Structure 1
Amino acid sequence: MDIAEGRELGVAQTSALFGGPGQDRSPQLAWDGYPDETQSFAITCFDPDALTIGGFWHWVAYDIPVAVNEFPTGAGDAGGDKLPAGAKMLTNDAGRHGYLGAAPGPGEPPHRYMFVVHALDVPSLDVTTAATPAWLGFRLVAHGVARAVLTPVFGIPA
Structure 2
Amino acid sequence: MFKSLKLIALLSLSISAATQASSLTLSSNDIAQGEFMSKTQEFDGFGCNGDDLSPHLKWSNAPKGTKSFAITAYDPDAPTGSGWWHWQIVNIPANVSELATGAGSTTKNLAPKGSFQVANDYGSKGFGGACPPAGHGVHRYRFTVYALSVEKLDLPKGASGALAGFMINTNTIESSTIESLYKRK
In structure 2, what is the equivalent of residue 36 of structure 1?
A: 64
Per-residue deviation, 1:80:
5.6
| Residue aligned with 1:113, SS | strand
Per-residue deviation, 1:18:
2.2
Per-residue deviation, 1:148:
0.4
How many residue pairs get aligned? The number is 157
Does the aligned pair in 2 maintain the 1:89–1:129 contact within 8 Å? no
Per-residue deviation, 1:109:
1.8
| Residue aligned with 2:44, SS | coil
In structure 1, what is the equivalent of residue 18 of structure 2?
A: none
Does the aligned pair in 2 maintain the 1:26–1:74 contact within 8 Å? yes
In structure 2, what is the equivalent of residue 108 of structure 1?
A: 136
TM-score of the aligned structures, taking structure 2 as reference length: 0.82
Superposed structure 1 runs of 4+ greater than 3 Å apart: none
Q: Residues of 1 paired with 2:105 and 2:169: CA distance?
A: 26
Amino acid at match of 1:49: D
Task: Identify which of structures 1 and 2 has the higher relative contact order when contacts are C-alpha pairs closer than 8 Å and 6+ apart.
Answer: 1
Amino acid at match of 1:65: P
Q: Residues of 1 paired with 2:91 and 2:143: CA distance?
A: 16
Is 1:70 the counterpart of 2:98 in the alignment?
yes
Q: Residues of 2 paired with 1:74 and 1:129: CA distance?
A: 22
TM-score of the aligned structures, taking structure 1 as reference length: 0.96
Amino acid at match of 2:121: D
Per-residue deviation, 1:118:
0.5
| Residue aligned with 2:165, SS | helix
Per-residue deviation, 1:129:
2.6
Q: 2:160 aligns with which of 109, 112, 132?
A: 132
In structure 1, what is the equivalent of residue 80 of structure 2?
A: 52
Superimposed CA distance per residue, residues 36-69 of structure 1 (whole angstroms, 9 cap, x where no aligned partner): 1100000000000001110000001000000000
Could you tell me which runs of 5 or more consecutive residues in structure 1 were left unpaired when the two chains were aligned. Answer: none
